[in-house]
Structure formats: structure tokens, C-alpha cells
């Protein structure tokens, strides 16, 4: 188990790095910036430390499994306070926000979300030192939510 | 509201446990028309709070982007035995709650 943690953190760092160009390329987008500022209340998050894990191809936009894993030891001194999910092409881009209390032992949540379009799903995390980080992944949805009924 | 909450009954002190929540709810988006073409008003579980021995452990603020029958999973450190309470409320004001006891050995 002791061996697992550095390896997991290393892999996390690798995937976060791989996702970084996608995020930073779109960072200049004014609509995205406005949404990010709405989430953080001012500062723009840095790209990295946040991994968004979804199937790359989701059949059903009504229910897309989503896991967010953040590189944080979750000790009393250094932890993630809040995670917010952003799907810019949804009619309501801010999907959900989670507050992790002191008992939360991993900076990780899983849920299922609706996606109205093929898009990059972004997770924004607030750390206990006041810094903001984000990561994202592109999800291709074959049947979109918000169309037809269901 | 029917809900399935999974908390292990027992854990070792310091162990990380997984909590899973699934609540039966349509999470009505507010964008969907009924059979007469009228918009069905939004009705989602907008807040879910998890407490342990009275102290807040986890809180979810959700919108219409969360799937029907919302599912949530997160991890908690088992420091001491006690009771988890789960409380949620939707846009109509309907409330649901569940509790689960954890024994720490």
C-alpha cells in the first residue's frame, strides 16, 4: 500500500499533464473565463493536478459516468475544499459543486452527469491554501441529453 | 424518496471507507415538455448534506446537469464509530433522509 501512493500520484501527474494543453488552449475563451471566474469568485484556475475521468465515448448523454481525482494528500494542512464540475455546452454549464469536509480522505468523487453536446468536461478544485486548479477531458456523446424527451 | 446508501457496517480505525449514495429522483431539468407541449418545471435535488456525529462531512450542490436517480461516491476516513446522516431536498421542498451506523474496531 505504501508503494501504491507515489505511483498513483505519479500517474495522476502524468495524466494531468497530458490534459493540460487541451485546457490551456481554450483558456483564452472569454465565455470559459467568465464561467471559471464565476466559480472561483475571481482568479482563473491553473491547469493541472485535476484529473477528469469519463469514458471517451458515451452512448447516452443522459447519464455519463464521471470521476474526478485530484492530486492532494488530503491532510489537515493540505487538502481540497471544493470541486466544481463545468460542462460549458450544457444549458446550465455549472453542473454540480461538492464541498469536502475534514473527514474526506481522498480528493475524489464519482457521479453521473448529463451532457447536452460533445464537449470538454472540466473540474475545478479549490485547495486549502486558496489556490485553484483545473483539469478536463473531452467526451463524445452519441445520444445527447436535452433533446427529445427522456 | 427511495434511496440506497452504502456505508460499511464496520471498519478499522484510520481505514478509508467508500460511501455510495443513489436516490430515486427524476432530476427534472426544466427543459423537457410533457405530452401537451408544456414545459415540465425543474425539479432537482439541489442540496445533499452528509454529516457524521452531527458535523458536516460532505455537501453536494446540484443542478439540472446531474443525471436522473443521482449517484454519488466519495471516501471518508473512519476515525471513530458513529452515525452518518444523509439529508437532501428538492425544488418542490420534498425532503429525504437516511442514516447509517459505522462501527470502528
pLDDT band for position A55 (50/70/90)?
very high
Per-residue model confidence (pLDDT) at position A3: 52
Cα separation, A111 vs B19, in Å, equals 12
Residues of B with CB under 8 A from a CB of A: 16, 29, 31-33, 52, 55-68, 70-77, 79
Per-residue model confidence (pLDDT) at position A150: 45
Contact B56 A64 (CB under 8 A): no
- What Rg do the C-alpha atoms of chain A give, in angstroms? 15
Cα separation, A123 vs A44, in Å, equals 13
| Domain A8-141 architecture | Sandwich (2.60)
- Whether A144 has a pLDDT exceeding 90, the answer reads no
What is B3-104's CATH number?
A: 2.60.40.10
Q: Is ipTM beyond 0.85?
A: yes
Per-residue model confidence (pLDDT) at position B1: 81
Per-residue model confidence (pLDDT) at position A14: 61
Task: For residue A38, give how far its alpha carbon lies from the nearest alpha carbon of chain B (Å).
Answer: 15
Nearest CB neighbour to A113, from listed B52, B56, B65: B65
Q: Does A112 touch chain B (CB under 8 A)?
A: yes
Dihedral sign, Cα of residue A102, residue A2, residue B21, residue B46: positive
Residue ranges covered by each domain of chain B:
3-104
pTM of the model as a whole: 0.89
Residue ranges covered by each domain of chain A:
8-141
Q: Does A147 touch chain B (CB under 8 A)?
A: no
Nearest CB neighbour to B77, from listed A93, A97, A103: A103
Q: What is the 3 state secondary structure string of A29-96?
A: CHHHHHHHHHHHCCCCCEECCEEEECCCEEEECCCEEEEEEECCCCCCCCCEEEEEEEECCCCCCEEE
Structure-block grid coordinates of residue B30: 426544466
Amino acid at each position: 500500500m505504501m508503494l501504491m501512493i507515489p505511483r498513483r500520484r505519479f500517474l495522476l501527474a502524468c495524466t494531468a499533464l497530458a490534459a493540460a494543453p487541451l485546457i490551456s488552449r481554450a483558456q483564452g475563451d472569454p465565455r470559459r473565463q467568465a464561467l471559471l471566474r464565476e466559480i472561483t469568485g475571481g482568479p482563473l484556475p491553473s491547469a493541472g493536478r485535476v484529473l477528469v475521468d469519463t469514458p471517451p465515448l458515451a452512448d447516452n448523454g443522459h447519464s455519463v459516468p464521471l470521476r474526478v481525482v485530484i492530486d492532494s494528500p488530503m491532510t489537515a494542512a493540505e487538502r481540497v475544499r471544493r470541486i466544481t464540475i463545468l460542462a460549458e455546452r450544457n444549458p446550465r454549464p455549472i453542473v454540480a459543486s461538492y464541498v469536502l469536509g475534514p473527514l474526506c480522505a481522498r480528493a475524489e468523487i464519482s457521479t453521473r452527469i448529463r451532457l447536452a453536446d460533445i464537449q470538454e468536461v472540466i473540474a475545478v478544485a479549490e485547495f486549502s491554501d486558496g489556490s485553484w486548479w483545473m483539469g478536463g477531458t473531452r467526451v463524445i456523446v452519441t445520444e445527447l441529453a436535452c433533446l427529445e424527451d427522456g | 424518496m427511495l434511496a440506497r446508501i452504502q456505508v460499511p457496517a464496520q471498519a478499522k480505525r484510520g481505514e478509508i471507507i467508500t460511501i455510495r449514495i443513489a436516490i430515486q429522483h427524476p432530476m427534472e431539468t426544466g427543459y423537457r415538455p410533457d405530452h401537451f407541449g408544456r414545459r415540465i418545471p425543474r425539479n432537482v435535488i439541489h442540496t445533499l448534506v452528509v454529516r457524521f456525529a452531527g458535523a458536516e462531512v460532505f455537501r453536494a450542490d446540484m443542478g439540472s446537469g446531474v443525471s436522473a436517480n443521482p449517484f454519488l461516491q466519495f471516501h471518508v476516513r473512519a476515525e471513530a464509530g458513529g452515525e452518518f446522516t444523509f439529508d437532501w431536498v428538492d425544488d418542490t421542498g420534498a425532503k429525504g433522509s437516511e442514516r447509517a451506523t459505522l462501527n470502528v474496531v
